[in-house]
Structure 1
């Protein structure tokens, strides 16, 4: 049975757009700008921590170019290893059950693997920045604050992904009696990769800063 074309939402991350397309749902435009929304997530202690990260003195590095190059090479290998390990999980055999429960457990396992792999990876990349140059050390300090403030909210939002998948499971199972399992499992893999990309964005940003660093940066 041919699959119906998906609507393409116009806003949000790739993960949000994919979930909306799978659910045939519209994404409302945000009421506030990103900066306004972010401000509401910070309490006064978070604001002080962010200010300290931005203004705090950083120790000088003897050879910042060599340090940045070595740190970038190590961080790239680390990032590649984590991505490959999680992608390998997505390639494992699909559940054969007609119930959603095994698929839910499978996706929850993927999410746990992402959390277990990416959180320490992000800390390691921050440590690499801290040893590369004063400017990158300051960026690492800012990222640590942002991780603390945004991380809990991100985990709460990502915890809703299995519920979206369960709704999609019911729709596909009802509309494609002959091929629903293959269709759903492929869709779930696409969601996994989109969530992986979302979770990796902060790490990728830190790594990009590490790659592009130079000794004469402020």
Structure 2
């Protein structure tokens, strides 16, 4: 099953577009970096699982039950994705609906203290990340359990995914935890651009207009929503790969 590639994802492209992360052409560097993440003992474990997978004889089960299980996994993925996407879009709306995560009330004081103005948005992003973890992780485990019951070949794939997740999860979590910290750079950059425009046009600042269409804070919130939605897809990629293998096994 293909692993998540940070460099090839929409998520990384979003980070690059927002100019809050340097994304060099990875070439073989990403594979080398990935290899550096895996401890020698972990590599032995992963190699053993992989060899067992190759040695196993595929005995794919067919029939309506197999197809229903694959369809059920796909439907559950769609449900979790919809819940997470709707939570993000609702919370980022100027008039949010029923959602437990609320967009911070903007500080409308001059001069704006960036040191205190941004942290509420960082906590907002982190709250959505916790929701993603609570939704995506159980889904991935459930899909692996379904694969393990489907066929010997898919059982080995599920074991390989579980082993790889165990090895890389901590590092991936640390990388994703940096995103709301990196967003501060974008927050500050947009505000500085806003100030520069005011200086050029010799206009007085109006905090009430920050969240209106075209305002710098509205721009930031739109970008933050875009990044959150891209992160949802990034986190779902391993599970999507498992489900795709399940579907192919039914053919």
**Normalised-by-shorter TM-score class:** 0.7 to 0.9
Tell whether 2:251 aligns with 1:211. Answer: no
Q: Distance in 2 between matches of 1:184 and 1:117?
A: 26
Counterpart of 2:106 in structure 1 is: 97
Task: Kindly state the Cα deviation for residue 61 of structure 1 after the two structures are TM-superposed.
Answer: 7.3
Select which of 31, 48, 71 maps to 1:73. Answer: 71
TM-score if structure 2 supplies the norm length?
A: 0.73
User: Could you say what secondary structure the match of 1:27 adopts?
Assistant: coil
Match of 1:172?
A: 190
Q: CA deviation at 1:198?
A: 0.8
Alignment partner of 1:21 is 2:57? no
Cα 1:61/1:110, change in 2 over 3 Å = same
Contact 1:68 1:129 (C-alpha < 8 Å) held by counterparts: no
Pairwise CA distance, 1:62: 9.0
Which of 94, 110, 113 is equivalent to 2:128?
110
| Structure 1 residue ranges (4+ consecutive) displaced by more than 6 angstroms after TM superposition | 56-62
**In structure 1, C-alpha distance between the alignment counterparts of 2:72 and 2:142, rounded to whole Å:** 10
Match of 2:80 in 1: 82
Distance 2:42 2:21 in 1: 35
Q: 1:149 to 1:70 in 2, by over 3 A?
A: same
Q: How does 1:1-218 map to 2 (within 5 A)?
A: 12-23=8-19, 26-30=22-26, 32-54=28-50, 55=52, 63-90=61-88, 91-92=90-91, 93=96, 94-98=103-107, 99-176=117-194, 178=209, 179-214=215-250
Could you say which structure has the larger radius of gyration?
Answer: 2
Q: How well do the aligned residues superpose, as a CA RMSD in angstroms?
A: 2.4
